[in-house]
Amino acid sequence: MRHENTKDLLSHIHDGAIICSHDHKIIAANKSALRILKYKREEQLVFKNVSSFIEENNCENIPYNKETTSRGIDSHGSALPLQITRISTPENKNDYILLIKNKDQNTEKKYKEISDFQNLIMKTIPDLIFVKDENFKIVSCNPAFLKVYPKELRENVIGIDSKTGYHPDEADEFTSYDRIALNEGEVEYYETIHFPDGKKRTLFTKKIRFYGQEGKKYMLGICRDVTAMKEAEEKILKSNTELEKFAYIAAHDMQEPLRIIGSFATLLETEYADKLEGNALEYIKHCIKGAKRIQHMVDDLLEYALLNNTQEKIQKIEMDDVLQTVCENLYDNISYYEANIEYEKLGIITGNKNNVIRLFQNIIGNAIKYHRSGTPPEIKISRADGSHNTVFKIIDNGIGIDPKFYSIIFEPFKRLHSSSQYKGTGIGLAICSKILENMKGKIEIESEIDKGTTFIITIPKKM
């Protein structure tokens, strides 16, 4: 192509540069020239006469190799003070190049300040930033990216195949994402790579396609080192797993001693009641009551621990069937308190059916339990679908929850009322939260004292 090498050279200079033919027709313009003359695309200038941006019709008035001042015209027809230097092209002595600058110092100074600021960001930001061409060669990068190469290789990074220095399998992996970005526009993902400097890093990477001059495709890559964060997450996950196993084992092993304590205390009450004096019988009753309460807590703790120790069967779930099962399980309380539960057709979701039953049963059970005195419980359940999630709302007319307790009610064994007021161990909502955490969903709450509570359950459509 005509002046191809010259075009590539001029694309890297700060000044505006326009290649012109011997008959003063514009052949090409770099990005700086388009910026100065306020053109969006090179095609808007190509094949036009030089007089389209210089008021002097005869370009011969501009001498070679000497900077002169001329009145220019931008794309909007506005006057533009230009400093122009005319030089010969290395590839054709009859054609020439016009180097142009905006004489308006304020504009140039502002552009230089912006350019300097961008360069400062590139030099100081710790993220790895690089640009690759369609052949996966590195054409630009910041200092942080250069540092992942040994010192002796850094001078040669620009222009090399980006696979150089990497394990073939890992190189094939990140190149596959390069292709996705170049073909589809952008991609983001986590990756773990052994870099040329010998270090292993986990990165959160985003790759974005953009176009250079003449429509060439390039890819901008931005990589954030999240190695420390991922290692911390793994430690926390391991710690939580070990803690859950300990809770399960401890709760399981406590069952038999508790059973023995409860059984012998009951025997003392039934067989020696007439022989005990003073407060002894009352003490035994407290002992039996305490043993039963601890047994309930142990049972709940086992249920909570088992949520992460069982293989969940994921299936399509008819939510109307779930609500029917919940109402059957809560039949005695529904009848006793004359609770009214309303819901329209709730459709289908994906999840573990037993856990979804447990989730809705705990929340609806609480709505019945924490009703206002003298007011039958009214519970309404609705569904709304978004593009990625399904949202259920369970609304009651109960006693409500003070907003200052929102942050603690989903913690295990946290109670807002004494056991003499309301039975239970305080783990029901913690189980709900854990079920939704395992489903990659969430539970939220809105409430007013003496008016009622709304539980908002968000469940992903894909698991």
pLDDT, one tens digit per residue, over 151-206 is 888 888 888 888 888 888 888 999 999 999 999 999 999 988 888 888 888 999 99
pLDDT in tens, 429-438: 888 888 888 8
Question: Is residue 358 within 8 Å of residue 330, measured between CB atoms?
Answer: no
Residue 304 pLDDT: 64
From CA 366, how far away is CA 358, in angstroms rounded? 12
Residue 266 token pair: 């009951």
359/326 Cα distance (integer angstroms) = 10
> What confidence score (pLDDT) does residue 71 get?
83
**What is the predicted pLDDT for the residue at 94?**
83
pLDDT of residue 258: 65
Return the sign of the alpha-carbon dihedral for residues 24, 28, 30, 33: positive
Q: How confident is the model at residue 106 (pLDDT cuts 50, 70, 90)?
A: low
As given in the structure block, the two tokens for residue 200 are 């292993």
Residue-wise pLDDT tens digits, 193-213: 888 888 888 999 999 998 876
Q: How large is the C-alpha radius of gyration of the chain? A: 37
Query: What local confidence, expressed as pLDDT, does residue 382 receive?
Result: 93
Instruction: Look at residue 419 in the predicted model and tell me its pLDDT.
Output: 55
pLDDT (mean) for 148-152? 86
d(Cα 413, Cα 403) in Å, to the nearest integer?
A: 18
Q: What is the dihedral of CA 367, 369, 371, 374, to 10 degrees?
A: 150
What pLDDT is attached to residue 285?
Answer: 77
For residue 17, the model assigns a pLDDT of: 92
365-369: long-range contacts (C-beta < 8 A, 24 or more apart)?
365/330, 365/333, 365/428, 366/428, 366/429, 367/339, 367/394, 367/396, 367/398, 367/453, 368/330, 368/333, 368/334, 368/337, 368/339, 369/333, 369/422, 369/423, 369/424
Which tens digit of pLDDT belongs to each residue from 207-244? Answer: 999 887 667 889 899 999 888 888 887 777 776 666 66
Q: What single DSSP character describes residue 205? A: E
First vs last C-alpha separation in the chain: 53
pLDDT > 60? residue 420: no
Chain centroid offset of residue 278 CA: 66
Residue 119, C-beta contacts closer than 8 angstroms, at least 6 positions apart:
none
